[in-house]
Structure formats: C-alpha cells, structure tokens
Structure 1
Amino acid sequence: MGERSEARKRAVEVLYEADLRELEPENLLKERVGSTEAPAVSEYAVKLVSGVAEHRERIDELIVNYSEGWALSRMPIVDRSVLRLGFFEMLWGDGVPPAVVIDEAVQLGKALSTDDSPRFINGVLGRLSGIDENERESMRGSRDGTAERDHRGGTAAQDSADFEDAADGSGQRRAEAGRGGQEED
C-alpha cells in the first residue's frame, strides 16, 4: 500500500473512532499523534483528518444531498468516514484527481465495511465527480444545496438504479443488520 493510501486508511480509522466514541476528530488525533502505543499518524493523515473536521458540517450536508434519500445516521460509521474523507479530498484537497479519490475510497470500503459499501461509495462520490469546477467552487461556500441537487450529471440515474439493488424499501441497506457496531440508531 502506498504512503498516501496508508494515510487515507489511518485517517478513516481516526474519523471512525471519533464518530463511534462521539469525540471531536482533532482531539482524538492529538491523542494519536502523541501516543507511542497507537500506530503512527503521518502528516498527510493529519491534514486529512483536520480538513474533514474543519469542513464536516458542510461535508455532511453534501453527503446527504448526494446519497439521495439516505440519512447520515443510517449509514454505517465506516461508510460515513470514507465518504467524509472522499468529499474533503474532492472539494478541498490538494488536486488529487477525482478518479483516484473514488478508487481509494472504494478500496477502503472493500477493506473496512459491508459488501454493499463499495458500490454505494462509488455511486455517491461518482455523482460528486460529475460536476464542473465552477459548481465545486460554489459548493465550498454554498449553504442552500441547490447546486448539489440540480447538477448530478448523466450517470446519477444509473448509479441510483445500481444502488437500489442493494436497498430494501425502508432505505436501509440489508447488510447493515449484520454489521453490529458499524451503525448508529
């Protein structure tokens, strides 16, 4: 695994633990950076966690808009963490191409979450990647969400149809029931 891939994995682990324990990610990060018992946290992982923490409210709004009908609280915590990281990298990151962000996020979903998670993560981030830079710029500061809802690109229907195969009528993924501590009520 490459250095940045490892940093992303470590960032997701910190974001996951902070969400699970209801802590601020940056406070947990400070614990981890100074700890000799926890795995090392690279500079890039620190940048990712700090960026997600700084923009989390906006990121969460966008995730809800782009996940089409999914409440954030019903997503497995790992999926939320991976999506938060992906949205941060696509909108506020240092120029990593969207295709790379999506691939890395899908790989994290495969390694850390449910069987349905990679397709879900791919669909949500794929919708975000279909917008142009001007729309991304407006999203970074927009609070009303209209750009997110109105400009999803031509693949949103296909992504949505693909994902519907993994959902039941209640909007909860079937795989969530077997994930134990991976979800919130």
Structure 2
Amino acid sequence: MAARTRARKRALELLFEAEQRGVNVGELLEQRIEAPTTQHALPDYTVEIVRGVVSRWGQIEEVLATWSQGWSLERMAAVDRAALRVGTWEILWNDEVPDMVAVSEAVELVQRMSTDESPGFVNGLLARISEVKPTIV
C-alpha cells in the first residue's frame, strides 16, 4: 500500500473513531500525535488531511449536503461520510492531488471498509463535486 493511501486510511479511521466515540476529531488527532496508539507515529499526510478537514468542516458538510441529492449526511454510512470528507477536502483544497486520484482513493477505501453500494455512491458524489468545483471554491 502506497504511503499516501495508508495516510488516507488512517485519516478516515480517525474521523470515523471520533464520530463513533462522540469526541472532537481535532482533539483526538492531537492526542494521537502526542501519544500514538501504535508503534508508528501518524503519517504527516494523515495529520495534514485531518487538520484540513477540521479547518473546512462547515464548508465540507455544506458541500456534501448540497450535492448528495436525497441523502442526508445522517443517512450515509459513517465510513462513507469519513471517506467523503477526506475526498472533498482533497478535491477542493489540496492542489497537490488530482481530483480523479482523490475520487479513486476514496472509492478504494469504501470498497474495503463499507457496504457494497458505497463505492458507487462515493464515486458519483465526489465526481459531481469535482465537476462543480469551480462554483464552490
């Protein structure tokens, strides 16, 4: 698994864990930086993603709610929400990652970690966000 793919997976896991535990994801991130729960420190790109998502949280939630057509955020699977937040941040605010790479990586994550319907849903929503990107940022 490539380094950035692993970093995205760790970011998704942190976002998912924070939501499931009902804790602030920014605070959870800082705890994990100070006291890692594994032998390895969090990858720098994981930290960048989570901090980016946290800093743009309101905008990301608005974009997802606007473009998800008939799916409220609460109705989505928690893993899908986390992958969509990572993908949306990469598409809209990380110019180092091509949009289609962000979409593909998010789809790959949900293929391994979510429902059978999730890859198509995540692909469609992130592709749409990529299409309308100029009107968002």
- Which sections of structure 2, spanning at least 5 residues, go unmatched? none
Secondary structure of the structure 1 residue equivalent to 2:104: helix
Structure 1 match to 2:9: 9
Identity %: 42
Measure, in 1, the Cα distance between the counterparts of 2:37 and 2:78: 24
Which aligned segments of 4 or more residues in structure 1 are displaced greater than 4 angstroms? none
* 1:36 Cα deviation from its structure 2 partner: 4.1
Q: What's the CA shift string for 1:112-158, capped at 9, x where partnerless?
A: 111110010001001111235x32xxx23xxxxxxxxxxxxxxxxxx
* 1:40 Cα deviation from its structure 2 partner: 2.8
Structure number with higher helix proportion:
2
Structure 1 match to 2:102: 101
Q: Counterpart of 1:22 in structure 2: which amino acid? A: G
Measure, in 2, the Cα distance between the counterparts of 1:111 and 1:40: 23
Structure 2 match to 1:150: none
Q: Higher Cα Rg: structure 1 or 2?
A: 1
Measure, in 2, the Cα distance between the counterparts of 1:36 and 1:121: 30
- Which sections of structure 1, spanning at least 5 residues, go unmatched? 141-185
Measure, in 2, the Cα distance between the counterparts of 1:98 and 1:70: 22
Q: What's the CA shift string for 1:3-45, capped at 9, x where partnerless?
A: 0000000000000011111211110011111224335311110
TM alignment of 1:20-169, pairs within 5 A: 20-38=20-38, 40-131=41-132, 134-135=134-135, 139-140=136-137
Instruction: Tell me how many residue pairs correspond in the alignment.
Output: 136
Q: Counterpart of 1:56 in structure 2: which amino acid? A: W
With the length of structure 2 as denominator, give the TM-score of the two structures. Answer: 0.93
